[in-house]
Chain A
Amino acid sequence: ETGVTQTPRHLVMGMTNKKSLKCEQHLGHNAMYWYKQSAKKPLELMFVYSLEERVENNSVPSRFSPECPNSSHLFLHLHTLQPEDSALYLCASSQEVGDGTEAFFGQGTRLTVV
């Protein structure tokens, strides 16, 4: 059982919809991440949070909006997405940002934009 839980596991949404992905970690970590995994592409880091403060935004379109209300919870708010945004969205956590320790991943949300 992973210490990082993501909901929902699957999501189908229209291009005009607004939805949110949720991530919760029970590991006492201070850093949380959103990754996008598309077919035949490497994992793409989207956002990095350290103790609820965003420390990295890798040129992600504004239709993706992260929120980190506390060090255990991370959200990704979605609106007016495009079909090319369909992918597996993975949340991860680690003890600290950039300390070289491993990241623990959630099971991911499989997003399909229609």
Chain B
Amino acid sequence: QKEVEQNSGPLSVPEGAIASLNCTYSDRGSQSFFWYRQYSGKSPELIMFIYSNGDKEDGRFTAQLNKASQYVSLLIRDSQPSDSATYLCAVNGGYQKVTFGTGTKLQVIP
């Protein structure tokens, strides 16, 4: 069983729509959760982090965490072509143990 699981995609959404990216994790002791965006040929960059159950909003981005279901998601409102990238979910299970998913490729169609 993969420790952090993401659908590899590609997920295609029209410009202006809401993109919903999902991630599940296996370690119930996980404490913090991150979403990184990685453009092709570039390094990952952090766009959101969340520690507590519920929603966290930052501009067009909303992270949602449900520890009981071991599920974290990222919503991107008003999707733009510039949002097209691979989105990596990362889970911090404690000391030294940060695990990444394989990433979901998002394509925003103009």
Contact with B along A25-50 (1 / 0, CB 8 A): 00000000000000011110100100
Q: Indicate if B61 sits at the interface (CB-CB under 8 A).
A: no
Pairwise interchain contact B88-A43, C-beta atoms closer than 8 A: yes
Contact with A along B39-71 (1 / 0, CB 8 A): 000111110010100000000000000000000
| Residues 57-106 of A contacting B (Cβ, < 8 Å) | 90, 97-98, 100, 102-106
Count class of interface residues, chain A: 20 to 34
- Measured CB to CB, the closest approach of chain B to A73, in angstroms, equals 18
Q: Indicate if B80 sits at the interface (CB-CB under 8 A).
A: no
- Measured CB to CB, the closest approach of chain A to B31, in angstroms, equals 6
How far, in whole Å, are A53 and B34 apart by their CA atoms in the complex? 26
- Measured CB to CB, the closest approach of chain B to A62, in angstroms, equals 20
Q: Indicate if B97 sits at the interface (CB-CB under 8 A).
A: yes
- Measured CB to CB, the closest approach of chain A to B22, in angstroms, equals 15
Pairwise interchain contact A90-B31, C-beta atoms closer than 8 A: no
Number of chain B residues close to chain A: CB under 8 A: 27
Q: Chain A residue with minimal CB distance to B92?
A: A100
Pairwise interchain contact B103-A97, C-beta atoms closer than 8 A: no
How far, in whole Å, are A2 and B43 apart by their CA atoms in the complex? 10
Residues of B within 8 A of A (CB): 2, 4, 8, 31-32, 34, 36, 42-46, 49, 51, 88, 90, 92, 94-103
Q: A98-B95, A102-B46, A106-B43 are in contact. List 17 more A-B contacts (CB 8 A).
A: A2-B43, A40-B8, A42-B4, A42-B88, A42-B100, A42-B103, A43-B88, A43-B100, A45-B98, A55-B96, A90-B44, A97-B95, A98-B96, A102-B49, A103-B98, A105-B36, A105-B43
**Can you report 30 residue pairs joining A to B where beta carbons are below 8 Å apart?**
A2-B43, A41-B102, A42-B2, A42-B4, A42-B88, A42-B101, A42-B103, A43-B44, A43-B90, A43-B100, A45-B99, A48-B96, A55-B96, A90-B43, A97-B96, A98-B92, A98-B94, A98-B96, A98-B97, A100-B31, A100-B32, A100-B51, A102-B34, A102-B46, A102-B49, A103-B98, A104-B46, A105-B36, A105-B43, A108-B43
